[in-house]
Structure formats: structure tokens, C-alpha cells
Amino acid sequence: MAGKQQKIMNGGWRGGPVPYGYRTVNKELVVEKSEAEIVSLIYNLYSKEDASLRGVCDYLDRHGYQREYRGKMTHFNDRFIAAMLDNPIYCGKYIHNKRAKVNKEICYIDGIHEPIVSAELWDCVHEKRKQCIKCEKVWDKDRVSLLTGVVKCPVCGDGMVHVVSRSVNKNHGGMYKSVHGYVCPNKGKHRYKICPFSRSYNQEKVDAAVYELIGRIGTLSSFNKMLEKEFDNDELKRYQEELKDIRKQIYCKESEKSRIGLKLDNLDVLDDDYISKYEEFENEIDSIYDDLTELENLMDTITDKISRLEKGAMAEEHIRKILANFQNIFDKMDCHEKKEFYQNLIERIDVFPDKREDRRIIKSITFKFPIVYNNKGKKEMGENDRFVYKLDCAKIGMTKAESHASYAMIKEYVMEKYGLKIHSLYIAQIKRKFGLIERQNYNPELFKE
């Protein structure tokens, strides 16, 4: 570590992912001319007064510039260009202590590699980047989209993001109620990656439906059967028998390897067939080593499953406690805690692409319940430390949130059935007459006498 630190302080390459525009030769950075030309072009384009990241992306896209990523050619995006513009390595410097766990002063070290852009151009771009401060959130500052990234686009499969619709009340002034939704992030985002799916899903309905479905899951027979099967004692006995059989196979392979090894040692070097016999025995030993590696990997997998099943009773109880106390615990969380809870509990939420006659929105929910073997739990969990269950929402009853009729739906129904055009005020009066819950008035000051 001291040698590496000294190399960094001397301006040498510290290792890690090689920046675009460079290659490593003898553990030092060397300029890749074809890529360096594109880096220089990006810096010059962005240094112009009216240039932006999106504008640079569009220019590169129009002129057919691409980069290699994981063996395939792909387009430049604004995130990649932003990281490039913020990296001082292109002007011949390294940044030190940027990610230090303790508070240390960030410093720049002159590198021994060849710079691609001049220090003056980098300083110009760096000052412009400093001015690109992210706008503060003005509307609904305390609001958090709970299922961002968890709800998946039914066409491209990417995690959906938050979108909000606001409109001005031209009749009375002020703003109408903000409508929050989930929408595909690739909807017209990039020229080279456009998702044709443009529908947005009402966040209020989706969040409420997911909340209700999690509260129901503990009562479903399919879930309880799968949970019991996951931690079944009969399965534990079967795995224990398999483990014994694998150990026997390993013992036999080790004995066979020793036997062939003795034959190999006893070969006569002066024998005419020495080379052919030696190669034959070597091939047999290599084959045995391959078999042993496969058996040992299988034994590790089964041993891990046995360990999980032996502790399964406690893990099953923990999952049932999560579901039994879900609503009481969830209601006491703040928005950020709720979002983190959903991110840890839900793998993905699939939605129906089209509006259905029964008004269902949620198609299925894939849960990833954490398996905890002790009261403290685990800080890091792998795939084997999760109990995965996919809930097919079409096989259970519809949630209240999905079956709730909006004012627009009521108007459409009345127009279709009776041919009457009704006002929202009429619907509100009927709801008040029959004691139905009315929503908050978002412009109360406009109607005060």
C-alpha cells in the first residue's frame, strides 16, 4: 500500500478503470489517438457559451460518433460526458483524497502521462461545470416517490421514474392539484434509446395498491405453501443424504488420483513408451481434478442449503413477523424509510401496459424477503439469503385503490349510459349527501366568503 501511495504521489497511474482516451502500457497511461480526438472535440464543444451536455450528445449522435462499451459500440450519453468533463486526468493531473473516508483535503497531483487538453481549456470547462448547480426542489419538498425504479416499464423493462403534472387554474387563479405518476425513463430521453411506451401510472393508486397487496400476502395459501416448502425438514434430510454421497465420490476420486500418481512416479524414463504413457496419466489426473472441482462446488452449494434449512424455522418466523406487523410499522415510518423498506422488500413490480375494463394496474409483484438467522440480522445478503416469491395479482381480488372510480371515470360513465354531461361539483354534492369521503380542496382560499 505504501508503494502504491508513493507511486500516486510521484504522478504514476494508480490503477483501476482506464479513462476513455487512454490505454495502459507497462502500468502507465498512454494516449489513444482516435479516442483522444473525440475527447478534445467534447471539451471544445462544451466550452462554448451556449453549449450543454444534451447539446454535445446530440452533436455527437448526429455526426455518428460512438464509443466501445463491453465489446459493443454505443452512443455517448450526458452522464458519461459529465464524468469526462469533471476528470482532471485529461489535463495531466490526478485528484487525490476525493473518496477518503476521513476528512482529508482534496489535492491535485501532476501526472507523468501526456494530457489530451490544455490546462486553460480544462479550467474553463471546470468553471462552467461549477455553475451547473442542480435546481432545488420547489414543489412538494417533503414528498418522496416510494416505488421509483421498482415499477418496471412493460415494454423496455427499465425502472420507471417520477413525473408530475401541474396546471394553472385559469378561472380562479392558483394551481390545480399536482398529479404524480410513474413513467418510463426512456420515453424520448435519447435519440438512440427511445421507448414507445408513453403511459404514466398514477402514483397514489399504485402506492396504495401495493400497500394493500403486501397486507394480504400473509393470508394467501400459495404463499404459505411456498414458504413451508422453502424451509421443509424433508428437504433437509434429502440434502444431507446428497452430501454424504458427494463426500463418498470425492473420496473415490482422491483414491483414484493417488493410484494414478503412483503409476506416474513408477514409470521408467528409459522406456520407449514413456512419453505417451506420461501424457496419458497426466490427462487422467487432469480429468480427475476437473471432477473434484465440480464435486467440491456442488458440495459447497448443498452445504449452504443445509445451513439455511437448519436455521429455516427462525427465518420463516421472521418473514411472518414482517407481514403480520407490516401496516403498523409502515405507517410510523417517514417517506425515506418507506422507500428504503420497499427497495429491500420488492424486487420488481410489473404493470399492465393497457387500460383494462376491470381497472387493474398491478400485474405481478416479485418479493425478495430477507432471510435472517439471528436477532441482529445480516448487513450484506446474497441471492441465497433471500426468499423470492412472485405474486400473480390477476389471481387474487382487486385492491380498493384500483377499483376506486375517479371523477373523470364517473363523468365518462354517465355520458356513455345516460348521455348527460355533468360537472365535478355535482359529483361532490352527491358524495357529501351520502357521506362519502371527499378529497382535500387544493385552492381553499379562493372560495372563502
Confidence of residue 141 (pLDDT cuts 50, 70, 90): low
Confidence of residue 348 (pLDDT cuts 50, 70, 90): very high
Confidence of residue 37 (pLDDT cuts 50, 70, 90): very high
- The helix-helix angle for 78-85 and 33-46 (nearest 10°) equals 90
The two most distant CA atoms of the chain are separated, in Å, by 116
Q: How far apart are CA 126 and CA 120, in angstroms?
A: 10
User: What pLDDT sits at residue 447?
Assistant: 35
Q: How far apart are CA 144 and CA 162, in angstroms?
A: 9
Residue 162 clears pLDDT 80, i.e. is over it: yes
User: What pLDDT sits at residue 1?
Assistant: 46
User: What pLDDT sits at residue 93?
Assistant: 82
User: What pLDDT sits at residue 288?
Assistant: 86
Confidence of residue 380 (pLDDT cuts 50, 70, 90): very low
Confidence of residue 100 (pLDDT cuts 50, 70, 90): very low
User: Mean pLDDT, to the nearest integer, of 250-279?
Assistant: 83
Per-residue pLDDT of 192-236, as tens digits, reads 557 888 889 999 889 999 999 998 888 888 888 887 777 666 667
Strand pairing class (28-31; 67-69): unpaired
Which residue from 369, 354, 377 is spatially nearest to 214, judged by alpha carbons? Answer: 369
Per-residue pLDDT of 122-131, as tens digits, reads 889 888 888 8
Per-residue pLDDT of 314-343, as tens digits, reads 667 778 888 888 888 898 998 889 999 999
Is residue 40 within 8 Å of residue 46, measured between CB atoms? Answer: no
* 3-state secondary structure (DSSP) of residue 212: helix
Percent of the chain with pLDDT over 90: 13
Strand pairing class (107-110; 93-96): antiparallel
Of 189 and 48, the structure prediction assigns the larger pLDDT to 48
Confidence of residue 363 (pLDDT cuts 50, 70, 90): very high
> What is the phi-psi region of residue 357: left when phi exceeds 0, alpha when psi lies from -120 to 50, beta otherwise?
alpha
Residue 407 clears pLDDT 60, i.e. is over it: yes
User: What pLDDT sits at residue 147?
Assistant: 93
Strand partners, 96: 107
Which residue from 128, 132, 118, 120 is spatially nearest to 47, judged by alpha carbons? Answer: 128
Of 248 and 191, the structure prediction assigns the larger pLDDT to 248
User: What pLDDT sits at residue 446?
Assistant: 36
Residue 132 clears pLDDT 60, i.e. is over it: yes
Confidence of residue 99 (pLDDT cuts 50, 70, 90): low
Residue 150 clears pLDDT 90, i.e. is over it: yes
Q: Which of 79-93, 129-143, 198-212 has the lowest mean pLDDT?
A: 129-143
Residue 367 clears pLDDT 80, i.e. is over it: yes
User: What pLDDT sits at residue 449?
Assistant: 35
Q: Which of 47-61, 102-116, 369-383 has the lowest mean pLDDT?
A: 369-383
Domains located in the chain, CATH noted:
2-131 (3.90.1750.20), 151-215 (no CATH), 405-447 (no CATH)
Alpha carbon separation from 259 to 18, 61, 287, 294 (Å, rounded)? 49, 65, 14, 20
Number of helical H runs and strand E runs in the chain: 15, 13
